[in-house]
Amino acid sequence: MLMKENEPLARYTTLEIGGPARWFAQADTEDDVAEATAWARERGVPLFVLGGGSNLLVADAGFEGLTLHVQLRGIDVEADDAGNCIYRVAAGEDWDAFVERTVTDGCAGLECLAGIPGTVGGTPVQNVGAYGQEVASSIVQVRAFDLEQRAFVEFTKEECGFAYRRSRFNTEERGRYVVTRVDYRLTPGGAPTVRYADLQRALAETPEPTLIDVAAAVRQVRRAKGMLLVEGDADCRSAGSFFKNPVISEDQYEKIAASHAAPPRFPAGPEHGGCVKVPAAWLIEQAGFGKGCAAGHAGISSKHTLALINRGNATAAEMLALAERVSAAVDARFGVRLEMEPVRVGFE
């Protein structure tokens, strides 16, 4: 396997920020994954697994270890006993291209997740979600290389521990597994999900939208928010949402509503009983950071308050400084701590 040295990482990330990887290898097969990770282990070198780089903030000094770029390809489809389609998808496949294939095949379940950048292998890590769907609802199994056991393992959906932007892959066991394949169960001929108001508005002229229509409408809505990677659109030089939507108690919600104004609210999900989810974008705007706000080379997207952007030649330090200013302002005004969504690489 080809091992590069001092490979600049900025070009592999949607933020276009980050110094070099001390070592860099590309995995095209499961054997490559086993071989590269053994190489790192024998030398006591830390490992970072890179997918599409769309949820990363890489340090200006880069990563003093081995970056393994997961590029495994291939999609197999089979029917299960109930007539559903099981898509077995290699981790390096492009996510949006895969979603497009499923809607073209007439299979429901992922149509609202169109336009999200990155790889298939990245989707179970933070349980990717948008416009009323998340991958946890479709995933049946995740295959991965376990760096501790030095063996391939398979997890059922239940074993993945999915919750809002969480899974076993980004919590206690972060960094332990290299995902090599994800299996999704989709419904042939199933009805599309059109739950979100933005999506309903975009489809107002389409009374009976197909899955293809819904995926196209999702991309259109995302484009208007700078949440679709579009060549030449400076607002999408981002990592998508920079903060998770905070989950707060009903008490805290009532206090904010009484002392300021009532924030919009959404159900927080069964794993957060008695709590509500509030939009981080609303809190950030109320705390004084509007769309298009600039801080040197870093800034906030002119289309979406939740996306911190590289305005050109921004450093990771500038991005973090802005993120810290934003979260300190939200904390001071509402007593809510925002949690960063992108993964920080090379900061330890």
Q: Which residues lie near ligand FAD (CB under 6 A)?
A: 14, 49-56, 70, 91, 116-119, 121-123, 125-126, 128-130, 177-179, 227, 229, 236, 238-240, 343
Residue among 110 and 256 whose Cβ is closer to ligand FAD: 110
In the set 22, 143, 165, 168, the catalytic residue is 165
**Residue 329, Cβ density class (10 Å: 0-12 exposed, 13-18 middle, ≥19 buried):** middle
C-alpha angle 9-15-212 in degrees, rounded to nearest 5: 115
Distances (CA, A) of 316 to 10, 126, 309, 347: 10, 21, 11, 10
Nearest CA among 104, 95, 55, 302 for reference residue 216: 104
Residue 162 one-letter amino acid: F
Q: Is 122 in contact with 52 (CB distance < 8 Å)?
A: yes
Nearest distance from C-beta of residue 225 to ligand FAD, angstroms: 9
Residue with tokens 């769907």: 133
Residue among 10 and 343 whose Cβ is closer to ligand FAD: 343
Question: Could you tell me what percentage of the chain is helix, strand and coil, using 3-state DSSP and rounding each to the nearest 5?
Answer: 30, 30, 45
Q: Report the run of H or E that residue 329 belongs to, with start and end.
A: helix 316-334
Nearest CA among 86, 88, 141, 94 for reference residue 113: 94
Q: How many CB atoms lie within 10 A of CB 332?
A: 10
Nearest distance from C-beta of residue 255 to ligand FAD, angstroms: 29
Residue among 195 and 260 whose Cβ is closer to ligand FAD: 195
Nearest distance from C-beta of residue 59 to ligand FAD, angstroms: 14
Residue among 116 and 276 whose Cβ is closer to ligand FAD: 116
Q: Is 241 a catalytic residue?
A: yes
In the set 54, 138, 241, 301, the catalytic residue is 241
Q: Exposure pattern of 153-173 as b/e (b: 16+ CB <10 Å)?
A: eebebeebbbbbbbbbbbeee
Instruction: Report the half-sphere exposure of 231 (CA within 13 A, side-chain side).
Output: 0
Residue among 13 and 327 whose Cβ is closer to ligand FAD: 13
Residue among 117 and 246 whose Cβ is closer to ligand FAD: 117
Nearest distance from C-beta of residue 335 to ligand FAD, angstroms: 26
Nearest distance from C-beta of residue 94 to ligand FAD, angstroms: 9
Q: Is 165 a catalytic residue?
A: yes
Nearest CA among 256, 234, 209 for reference residue 308: 234
So which residues are the catalytic ones?
Answer: 165, 241, 341
